[in-house]
Amino acid sequence: MITHEYARTMARYNRWQNWSLVAAASGLTDADRWQDRGAFFCSIAETLNHVLWGDRIWLDRLQGDETTASRIGDRHPYSDAPRDWSDYVRERAALDEAIVEWADGEWPVQ
């Protein structure tokens, strides 16, 4: 069983790792972030958007949103992904804080 303390630790670790990635990607130009590098998700920006999307899905599930699974197949998962770097950074920060707030919240979780 996952403990409350484990969830808190992992939420903070997730936030730290995301900000390590943001710091590294912030040193690139926008063109460099979007350049197709032959990776699974093509570019660094698309890979970061995939991680953002995945974290949104997991937070929805953890909060008891049962429509999340059906939404995955309903539309392209990245149709609302931020194209502007400052928008991405804001969305990443807000989502990381929401995950930490969830982990710090009342248990049992759904």
Who wins on pLDDT, 108 or 65? Answer: 65
Contact 28, 60 (CB under 8 A): no
> Tell me, what DSSP letter sits at residue 1?
-
Classify residue 24: in a domain, yes or no.
yes
Chain segment 2-20, per-residue pLDDT in tens:
888 999 999 999 999 999 9
Give the list of residues 6+ apart from residue 27 with CB closer than 8 angstroms, or none: none
Would you state the pLDDT for residue 82?
83
- Residue 109 in any domain: the answer is no
Number of structural domains in the chain: 1
Domain-embedded: residue 49: yes
Mean pLDDT across the chain, nearest whole number? 86
Indicate the pLDDT class of residue 80, thresholds 50, 70 and 90: low
Residue span of the structural domain in which 48 resides: 4-104
Say how many CA atoms lie within 13 Å of 13 toward its Cβ: 6
> Does some domain include residue 110?
no
* Residue 35 is assigned to a structural domain of this protein: yes
**What's the one-letter identity of residue 28?**
L
> How many Cα atoms within 13 Å fall on the side-chain side of residue 108?
3
